[in-house]
Amino acid sequence: MNFQAPSMNSFQPFSILLGILLATMAKPAGAAESAAILPPLAPTPRTPVRRPSAQTVTDWQGRKFGMFIHFGLFSIPGGVWEGRRVTNGYSEQIMSHAPIASEAYARLAGQFNPQKWDPEGIVRLAEDAGMKYIVITSKHHDGFNLFHTRLTDYNVVDATPYGRDILLELSRACARHGMGFGVYYSSIDWHDPRATPFTDDNNNLIPPAHADFNVGQLRELLSHYGPLAEVWFDMGCPTPDQSRRFADTVHELQPECLVSGRVFNHQGDFTVMGDNRIPDFIIEEPWQTPGSIYHQTWGYRSWQERGDLQEKIREHLQKLIQVASRGGNYLLNIGPRGDGSVVEFEAAVLRGLGRWLKVNGEAIYGTQPQPFRRLDFGYATHRPGKLYLLVQRTPTDGWLRLPGLQTPLTHAALLADPQKAALPLKQSEDGWAVRMAAKVETEAAPPVTVVEADYAGDLEVIPPCQKPDAHGVIHLAAADSRKFYNYNGRGYYDRPTVYKHAWEVALAGPGRYQVLITFNPGEPKSRVELTLGEAKVLVDCDGARSGDANSRTATALAGPFELKGAAFSTLAISVPPPFTKGDKLSVNVVGVTVTRLQ
């Protein structure tokens, strides 16, 4: 993973300066530019390589819950070096944070003999937890390899008394159990002399010789470890060509293997959120949240405060439900000890989640995200013919309100009830509601109760809409829009960029409408695509600059449009076609007004 989970706003100028200084000492003049100040680049055109099929991506999305494993030489010190707790940063990066000289750290390989590592036991634990795939560190930032690479002897077979290929044995165990198997691969390397030295932000540039080394190792992983569900790249600041080369290497050898978004430069098959981060809204692409049982570390830490078991189970069940209700996958980490054993507390957390999923997994696996903006009782998922209400808080009157639901409910019951006793239903002007008894909080009570509600026909939900004012004008502010972002750009610290704003509006019936877009001028000859109901047009937003462009606004008028005036319409301002992942709006939208013409 990256260094100690920063916010997007926490990347400091000092980090940039330090990265430049270290790279300058290690590289020839002219090769030391920091990634943070490099200009945007476009990948060199290249013959397209086949990527995973739509069905493969759908199947991956349906898994919902996986196991992440951070295991390696860093598991031996467990967050302690020379008798001192290393409190800054994640423990899997102790080499950087202690810090430890490369030669001293490499000597840990002579101690690596994890006799309690049990690949069959790991897979059974994942099954007990209700997890559908496993991703393990093949090589973390320290450069030590948990597989038998032929490109360096700094690996588990050649450099340790253990002498066995951990990845190969786990891959075979996963295959025996029908468990998906994937590998984490760090694009940076603190051991290999071809790589740049480590920096405090892991945002290193990747020299050409090191990129070649990475490609060689990727070919080994894709050739000798069975079908891989995904390759989970991490960190570094590759160029667009390097990102594309890494992704193409994977797809050339295994076209159905998914590449994580942290290959960067928008070359991944799925987006990876920041560590332990969950998006606020549903997003329009496959995505995954990597989660750690403790936010302080991913690798084993001997002195980690474990906390209350039931609270920890509730915490991660909440995250799993949030992720599933927004259409993502949750990859939850464990950090085995240096002897290979799993921390008992972490195993207990996973089994606690598994007990809930054994009863309620139907509401998670293979479901679609909730069709409601917000629910006062918790979250929801759905599949054709069924809504699943994930109840965290029972309202005082017992009614679970489903605002905007137009499709009739035909039956509702507790998912855990084998008798499927009917729960009361009612319809109102605002939608439908299901009534359940007040939840009794006991230690044995599930932290989330699931109600399954059957419906007939297509699922139709009218979301909260902006309505016309007394003059028939709808005012929309950019601050209130649903924003759609490009993630996983030039590197971990590259801020997400907006490619679309969307609002739901209630038009004042059929008629002729015009739209006024207010924006801060951006690039010359800027253009956006405007969608309103059945209308879709390109709009020129070429406001002339004068002085500071951010201190004033310009406007662009679109229409008139003849609209049917449906119950609600979506108004969207987006990048004009053809859209390529990574394209961003070339103007900063401030607001929109919609006027019905007489």
Start-to-end Cα distance in the chain: 58
pLDDT tens digits, residue range 91-105?
A: 999 999 999 999 999
Alpha-carbon distance of 380 to 463, in angstroms, equals: 15
Contact 202, 275 (CB under 8 A): no
Please give the mean pLDDT across all residues of the chain: 90
Half-sphere exposure of 162 (CA within 13 A, CB side): 27
pLDDT tens digits, residue range 521-571?
A: 877 889 999 999 889 999 999 764 434 555 578 999 999 988 887 778 999
- What's the token pair of residue 144? 């030590």
Helix (H, G, I), strand (E, B) or coil at 498: strand
What integer pLDDT is reported at residue 50 of this predicted model? 92
Global pTM value: 0.90
Range in 208-212, 281-285, 337-341, 562-566 the model is least confident about: 562-566
How large is the C-alpha radius of gyration of the chain? Answer: 26
What integer pLDDT is reported at residue 443 of this predicted model? 52
What integer pLDDT is reported at residue 546 of this predicted model? 38
pLDDT tens digits, residue range 425-470?
A: 999 889 999 999 865 554 555 789 999 999 999 999 999 999 999 9
What integer pLDDT is reported at residue 2 of this predicted model? 53
Q: Please check the confidence at residue 418 and state whether its pLDDT lies above 80.
A: yes
Average pLDDT over residues 320-342: 98
pLDDT tens digits, residue range 50-73?
A: 999 999 999 999 999 999 999 999
- Counting every residue written for the chain, the total comes to 598
Contact 425, 412 (CB under 8 A): yes
pLDDT tens digits, residue range 223-252?
A: 999 999 999 999 999 999 999 999 999 999
- Domains parsed from the chain with CATH numbers: 55-363 (3.20.20.80), 370-455 (2.60.40.1180), 473-597 (2.60.120.260)
DSSP-derived pairing of the beta strands 588-597 and 511-520: antiparallel
